[in-house]
Amino acid sequence: MRTRPQGDAGQAFPIYIMMVAGLLFLALAFFAVGKASALRNGSQGAADAAALAAAQKARDNFGTGFYASLPTNVLDLFLNTPFTPPCYEADRLAAANDAKRTLCYPTPGYLRDRVTVEVKGNKPVDSPVLPGSENKKAKAKATALIEFRCPNPKAVDFNSDGVQDLFIFTCRNGKILEIAPASPPPWESVSRTLFDVRLVDQ
């Protein structure tokens, strides 16, 4: 009966070790990629929330200027006026989502203003298989649109004194608003009808 030389088992052992090491490296690499992807998704969520928060706060702040533009019918001037986005709201929402705001800027446009926010996540990838990943943090950008959706209001001058007493807004969402500049309704009750806020592609 033939017997296998004793050296065969010893020759296979290094190959086995190399295979296990290779599989372990692949597992760590997949884990690192998965962690990086999760951090990227988290940063994108933070950017989305931050951009929306800044845009919504900007809409809330429009009230005084919007109402002031109605008595003399200078709404077009108001809608063309550049604004400063309340980036402190972007800071707050970014921090709540474990990120830090790095940029926040407006892009004014008639009837359609934009607020763009860029964030960087607080946690690094920090993988032993990816050199330099101990300082690598996920970045993301989001843009929110503030759109005036009730253009071309009808103005009514009851006293024929040149001052418009009532503005009737017919909005694209089917709602009709009547605003008397002398006694305007609370801004919170009309702002969400007048202005739409939503995320858009950069």
User: Which pLDDT tens digit goes with each residue over 109-160?
Assistant: 888 899 999 999 888 755 555 555 566 778 999 999 999 999 889 989 888 8
Sheet of 176-179: strand order equals 154-156, 166-170, 176-179
Residue type, 179: I
The residue among 133, 31, 139, 36 whose CA lies nearest residue 94 is 139
pLDDT of 42 above 90: no
Q: Is the pLDDT of residue 23 over 70?
A: no
Better-predicted residue by pLDDT, 39 or 173: 173
The answer for 126, left when phi > 0, alpha when psi is -120 to 50, beta otherwise, is left
Task: pLDDT band for 22, please (50, 70, 90 cuts).
Answer: low
What is the rounded average pLDDT of the residues 74-84? 89
Q: What is the pLDDT of residue 73?
A: 75
Mean pLDDT to the nearest integer, 89-114? 93
pLDDT at position 159 is 84
9 vs 68, more confident: 68
Whether the full predicted model's pTM is greater than 0.85, yes or no, is no
**Which residue type is seen at 95?**
A
Domain ranges of the chain: 15-149+195-200
pLDDT for the residue numbered 130: 52
Residue in the block written with tokens 């970014």: 94
pLDDT at 162: 77
Q: Please state the φ and ψ torsions of residue 170, each to the nearest 5 degrees.
A: -105, 110
Q: What's the confidence (pLDDT) of residue 20?
A: 60
169 in Cβ contact with 184 (< 8 Å): no
Give pLDDT, residue 31.
55
